[in-house]
Structure formats: structure tokens, C-alpha cells
Amino acid sequence: MMITPVHRSRDIERKPEYLQPDKCVPPPTRSSLGTMWFIRDGCGIACAVVTWMLVFYADFVVLLVMLVPSRDYVYSVINGTLFNTLAFLALASHFRAMLTDPGAVPKGNATKEFIESLQLKPGQVVYKCPKCCSIKPDRAHHCSVCKRCIRKMDHHCPWVNNCVGENNQKYFVLFTMYIALISLHALIMVGFHFLYCFEEDWTKCSSFSPPTTVILLILLCFEALLFLIFTSVMFGTQVHSICTDETGIEQLKKEERRWAKKTKWMNMKAVFGHPFSIAWLSPFATPDQGKADPYQYVV
């Protein structure tokens, strides 16, 4: 039974000659492709560098201003280990989110040979992106920064200098979660340290002078509060997006759902991997997203 596709604001073509395949340069061979995904965007690179510098600054203040001068050895070891573990996981998640291909569609694959290989039947529709000359899978959108069509693109995040898409959404969610956790942890430690310094002599509660200590702690407090709010909101919206199986772009454009509805648990496993395990929390574990064909070109 033939299903009539709903209207979408993308190029809709039914025959190979209408797609103008002669104007598309065939995609490069696999051997000529780079092995690492990296977006050369000045703003994104600057934001990524700032992100790492802010984490290192927080670690500097936590260790050298609050924990090392503390006379409570157990308190310092426990909090130092916990904070640095969370910070390491946050930076590792950021690294994976930045350098993982988010789900880019092969560029320039709208060639006559490829279109004919799809063996289109009467009434079937394929979508061509005029910007990167690609045949777009369903739910793919073009990113003007990455200059590629990205499968299940949620948004382009300058803080990770990459799109958040089908293949790296797990790492972005972990990044926001771990940043929120270290921000909360830092705020709690700053609060305890201020109380300790008020009760004791300020010259004994830090290796730095009292004015320098106060300035460093206030800056860390402001940074932690700001990023706690920001990353908590991002984490919540990402989890909601995963559970509803609707990307940020699809919500913004209010696109009509054309894909099969699944349970929230199935949607979570599709992003974080099958089955549920501690690997969900690890940025080093690549999720097994099943054997579904990611290139669903024909509607």
C-alpha cells in the first residue's frame, strides 16, 4: 500500500533527472577520507578551549586553594579524588563529543548512479540537499557550520565544536551531566571553605593571601553556579528529547512525526546502547545502536 508523504520544506524530487545529479561531484573514496572528525570553526575551537580552561581553573582552585591547605587529610583525599574523577569524565566526554562523527551523510552522493541504485518505484520520494549535494535520509538536517547533512541532528553546539546528532548524543549528554556534577560539588566545597575560613584565621585556611583567596573563591562560585544552571537545563532537555524521540530541530520546526513511536526505555537504549549497564556512564564505551539501516533515503 502506498503512503502519500506529507509536505516538508525540503527539495522533493521523484526522478533522477530532476535531482540534477550531473552537478554533483561524487564523494571521495574511503581511502582518501580522514580518520578523525574535526570541525575547523574558529568560534567553536575557541569555545572548546575555553571549556577546558574553565575546568582546569576549577581544579586549580579546588586543589591548591581549598584542599591542599586543609588539615583534614581524609576530607581532602575524598573530595579531591571525587572532583578530579568527575572532571576527567567530563573532559573525556567533551573530547568524544567533539571528535565523533555525529552522523554525517556522505557528501555529494546525489549522483545518477547512486539514485538509480535506489531503484525508486512510482510514488516514492527522495530528498536532496542543494547545499552539500547529498541524498538526505529521513530526519536529517543540514548544518551550516559543519557544512554537512547530519542524521537526527539536534543542534550545533559551539562548546563542543560539533553537531549533536545520532552518533555522539550520548557523549554530549554525559558531558552536560558531569559538568553539572562538578559544578555542584565545587559550590558545596566553596560554601564549606568560607565557613571554615570565617571560623579560623584567614591566613591559615589557604596558601594564598586572604584577598587573593576571596577573589579566587568568588570567581569559582560564579563559574560553578552559571554552568550548573546551564548544563542542568541542557541535560534535562536532552533527556526529554531522547525519551520523546524528537530532536531539538524537530521540536522547533514542529515537524509532524513520521517515524514509529517507541517506549522511553527503547529510546534511551537506542542512544546509550544495548543493554543497560555501567557503560551508559562511560565516555569510552561506544553504544551499540543495533543494525538498523541509518540511510533510510526512500519514503
Check: CB of residue 286 under 8 Å from CB of residue 274. no
Nearest-angstrom CA–CA distance, 172 and 100: 10
CA-closest candidate to residue 133, choices 110, 163, 102? 110
Dihedrals φ, ψ of 121, to 5°? -100, 160
The DSSP secondary-structure symbol of 66 reads I
Check: CB of residue 249 under 8 Å from CB of residue 141. yes
Taking the alpha carbons at both ends of the chain, their separation in whole angstroms is: 13
Q: Give the residue numbers annotated as catalytic, written as ranges.
A: 157
142: how many CB neighbours lie within 10 A of its CB? Answer: 18
